[in-house]
Structure 1
Amino acid sequence: METELAIATNRLTKQFDRYVAVNQVELQVEIGEVYGLIGPNGAGKTTLIRMLSAAEEPTTGEIYLYGDRLLRNNSNPHLKQRLGYLPDDFPLYEDLNVWDYLEYFARLYYLKSPHRRRRLQEVLELVQLTSKRDSKINTLSRGMKQRLSLARTIIHEPMLLFLDEPVSGLDPIARMQFREIIKVLQTAGMTILISSHVLSDLAQLCTSVGIMELGSLVESTSLTELYQRLSLQQIIITTLGNLEDLKRELKHHPKVEEWEVIPEKNSLRVNFSGGDEESADLLRSLIHQGLPIREFHCTQEDLETIFLKLGHKQVS
């Protein structure tokens, strides 16, 4: 397999009795990427992540991490030691304090002093819990507990990190703090695969995304390419004059597909199939016709809209 890939799977399949949870998935993730895994409940995301992190045995198929075959036997122990896996339901030992909890896991990974103490200080600073090092875990907020779980997952400096719904149930501030930590880890060279239902977070974090449906990987591409191929450009056009005059002029432009009236703003939300040059031409032509344009704002459909469109296509 290609050694420049952090993850490569070959017809990866997991079957439970008659139920196929993951169906012949061909996944490729490049080194240094943040890869977002999207899909409804039951799509197979968690099962796929569990197989990639050696927590679940595939029924058939192969997994290669950094060019080495991953097996759930005693082979490649060095490879398994460089994986970090944060499931969505990993329990915390509530009666321990933060430092003792992290030290326990550091010892499980055979981190020796004085490196162990240095590493604990580093991860506490990264997840912004240095001031909580002596606090009991049961006194922490949900966001702090999730950041502590991440600290435990990266204590041994993994090169490949698997995160399954890490921001589930977190408030917007806690999600923002978690996002910033992920960005730091990527900058440090870590490859990260993350599943989440919070698509706005993935849109800010990910370089590539994979969309799963009924156990199959129906899309896997860079986020940039996905937007270029599937995201409609929309233009908000606000006029100080009559909306009917604006509509009449828009009918003459070949790149204008349809529009929606925003009555409270005297505006139209226009679906536009052209690029930047065509949108500039449209603005010039509207002004040339003497229309009093107050706002001309280009946007694109977001990741959530694209996902819903793709899901509709799969059902249709």
Structure 2
Amino acid sequence: MSKELAIKTCSVTKQFERHIAVNDIDLEIAAGEVYGLIGPNGAGKTTLIRMLAAAEEPTIGEIYINGDRLLLDQSNPQLKRHIGYLPDDFPLYDDLIVWDYLDYFARLYQLKNPRRSQRLKEVLELVQLTNKRHSRINTLSRGMKQRLSLARTIIHEPIVLLLDEPVSGLDPIARMQFREIIKVLQEVGMTVLISSHVLSDLAELCTSVGIMELGYLVESCNLNQLYQRQSRQQIFISTLGDLEPLKAEINNCALVEEWEVVPQQNGMRVYFTGDRTDLANLLRQLIDSGIPLTDFHSTQEDLETIFLKLGHKQAS
């Protein structure tokens, strides 16, 4: 087993009575990656993460964390020290103050002073809660509570961080703060697996993604490779004048796959198969035709569009 893989699973399956929640999954996540796990509710994401965290045992299959195998029917104490797991429903002790809460978990991981106090200061600074160290947890905002939960999860300096819907219910500013913390953790070499329904966050954070449907891992690859294979190029074109001349020019272009009208912008969304040179030629053609353009820019289909497209293929 290569130490370069932080997470590896072999034919991992989890069955609850007649329901197969996770079905024959082979997953490989390289050390230092931020891996996004995507899928609708009921796809098996939480069950998979719980098995990786040793909180749930697979029915069959093997799990390796940093090269070491998780052993069934054993507590795996040394291996668990390499894992930080933040479930989506972990309770906070509202009557405790922030410092005492983190100190409690640091003691559970047998951190000794002076290292324990130093580590508490480090994680509080990382999650931007140093000024709240003496505050009761019940006085914190939702975003602060989630950052505190993350601090608790990394207090023992794990190698692999497993986050199940960590930004659920957070406002845009709180999500941005959480993203910045994850980026710092990646910079110091931590491997992060994160599930989320906020695909724009994952697109900004992740180096690789996996897409789950009905217990299966239907896609798992580098994010850039996924875009290259699955993301169609779109051109947004707007005009001051009538749309008919623009439609005529677009219909005459062999590199146009399909198009649709965007009424509110008096324009079109065009799916284009050409390269940058072809784009420039199309723009020149439209200008030479006398069409009064107000906008012409290209973009790629985003992660959410790819996810919906792949999910539709799987369903059909």
When normalised by structure 1's length, the TM-score is: 0.96
- Please state if 1:242 is matched with 2:245: no
Equivalent in the alignment of 2:46: 46
Q: Is the CA contact (8 Å cut-off) linking 1:261 and 1:267 kept in structure 2? A: yes
Query: For residues 63 and 302 of structure 1, what CA distance do their matches in structure 2 show?
Result: 32
What does the per-residue CA deviation read over 1:60-117, in whole Å, with 9 as the maximum and x for residues that have no partner? 0001122221124557533221110000011111110000000000001111111111
CA contact (8 A) 1:54 1:72 kept: no
Q: Which amino acid aligns with 1:117?
A: S
Partner of residue 145, structure 2: 145
Equivalent positions of 1:21-60 (< 5 A) are 21-60=21-60
Q: Output the CA distance in 2 between the equivalents of 1:228 and 1:280.
A: 20
Paired residue for 1:9? 9
Partner of 1:301: 301
Structure 2 Cα separation of the partners of residues 75 and 128 of structure 1: 33
Query: How far has the Cα of 1:29 moved from its partner?
Result: 0.5
Unaligned runs of at least 5 residues, structure 2: none
Q: Deviations over 1:255-313 (max 9, x none)?
A: 11222222333211111122323222211222233333221111111111111111111
Query: Quick check: 104-113 or 67-76, which moved more?
Result: 67-76
Assess if the C-alpha contact under 8 Å between 1:258 and 1:271 holds in 2. Answer: yes
Asked whether the 8 Å contact 1:38–1:197 carries over to 2, the reply is yes
Task: State yes or no: 1:254 paired with 2:249.
Answer: no
> Which aligned segments of 4 or more residues in structure 1 are displaced greater than 3 angstroms?
72-77
SS at match of 1:218: strand
Q: Give the TM-score normalised by the residue count of structure 2.
A: 0.96
1:26 is displaced (CA, Å) by 0.5
Q: Gapped runs of 5+ residues in structure 1?
A: none
Q: How far 1:17 sits from its partner (Å)?
A: 1.0
1:182 corresponds in structure 2 to 182
Q: 1:202: which partner in 2?
A: 202
**What RMSD, in angstroms, separates the aligned Cα atoms of the two structures?**
1.3
Aligned equivalents of 2:29 and 2:232: distance in 1?
26
Letter in 1 for 2:254: P
The verdict on how the C-alpha distance between 1:176 and 1:287 changes in structure 2, with shifts beyond 3 A counting, is same
Residue 310 of structure 1 is matched in structure 2 by 310
One-letter amino acid of the structure 1 residue matched with residue 186 of structure 2: Q
**Which residue of 2 is the match for residue 127 of structure 1?**
127
Per the alignment, residue 89 of structure 1 pairs with: 89
Give how far 1:172 is off.
1.0
User: Counterpart of 2:104?
Assistant: 104
Instruction: Point out the more displaced range, 137-146 or 77-86.
Output: 77-86
Deviations 1:97-153 (A, max 9, x none): 000000000001111111111110010011111111011111111111100000000
SS in structure 1 opposite 2:248? helix
Distance in 1 (alpha carbons) for counterparts of 2:218 and 2:246: 40
Question: What residue is the counterpart of 2:281 in the other structure?
Answer: 281
Q: What is the number of equivalent residue pairs in this alignment?
A: 316
Q: Could you tell me how far apart the structure 2 residues matched to 1:164 and 1:75 are?
A: 22
Give aligned-pair identity as a percent.
Answer: 73
Asked whether the 8 Å contact 1:237–1:267 carries over to 2, the reply is yes
User: In the alignment, which residue of structure 1 is the partner of 2:63?
Assistant: 63
Partners of 1:118 and 1:213 in 2: CA distance: 43
Residue aligned with 1:27, SS: strand
How many angstroms apart in 2 are the aligned matches of 1:274 and 1:9? 39
